[in-house]
């Protein structure tokens, strides 16, 4: 229930530099410091890091994540904005999934093409535009 920055770095795969950078950017406003001025991460902070990772991986920039956290801090008056943000993010993820499926189809086609080409020892039809 209390982790050092090094422990959190190991747990999350982020570097200690990145964790400090996130804090500086206002993405981790709930971290405490102990008497020796060392950061003490709680389980809740780990939860925030997971959420940051989720929003980042789905295309939100740190600025957008900060906006969400600022809304969170502001309290119940921003519930609608936060809901809207998640709804917007859901739409993005759906688009990303559709895009990814299209890319997968193209890659599968290439794998077929090149599997045959390796068998033949040559790539004949050059269907690069497929």
Q: Where on the chain is the footprint of DNA (CB under 7 A)?
A: 4-7, 9, 15-18, 20-21, 33, 35-39, 56, 61-63
Give the shortest CB-63-to-DNA separation in angstroms.
6
Q: Which residues contact 24 (CB under 8 A, 6 or more apart)?
A: none
Give the shortest CB-82-to-a copy of itself separation in angstroms.
6
**65: left (phi > 0), else alpha (psi -120 to 50), else beta?**
alpha
Rounded to whole angstroms, how far apart are CA atoms 98 and 84? Answer: 21
Determine, following the binding rule CB under 8 A, whether residue 98 of this chain makes contact with a copy of itself.
no
Q: Which two tokens stand for residue 61?
A: 């920039």
Any idea which residue has 């499926």 for tokens? 101
> Which one of 25, 50, 70, 74 is in contact with a copy of itself (CB under 8 A)?
50
SS3 at position 28: coil
Q: Which residues bind a copy of itself (CB under 8 A)?
A: 43-44, 46-48, 50-51, 54, 57-58, 76, 79-80, 82-83, 86-87, 89-90, 93-94, 96-97, 99-101, 103-104, 106-108, 110-111, 114-115, 117-118, 121-123, 128-130
């Amino acid at each position: 229930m209390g982790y050092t920055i090094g422990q959190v770095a190991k747990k999350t795969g982020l570097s200690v530099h990145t964790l400090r950078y996130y804090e500086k950017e206002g993405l981790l406003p709930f971290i405490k410091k102990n008497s020796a001025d060392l950061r003490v991460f709680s389980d809740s902070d780990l939860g925030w890091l997971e959420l940051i990772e989720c929003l980042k991986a789905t295309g939100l920039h740190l600025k957008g994540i900060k906006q969400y956290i600022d809304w969170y801090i502001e309290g119940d008056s921003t519930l609608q904005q936060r809901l809207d943000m998640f709804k917007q993010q859901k739409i993005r993820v759906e688009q990303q999934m559709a895009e990814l499926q299209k890319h997968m189809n193209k890659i599968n086609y290439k794998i077929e093409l090149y599997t045959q080409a390796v068998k033949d020892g040559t790539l004949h039809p050059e269907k690069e535009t497929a």
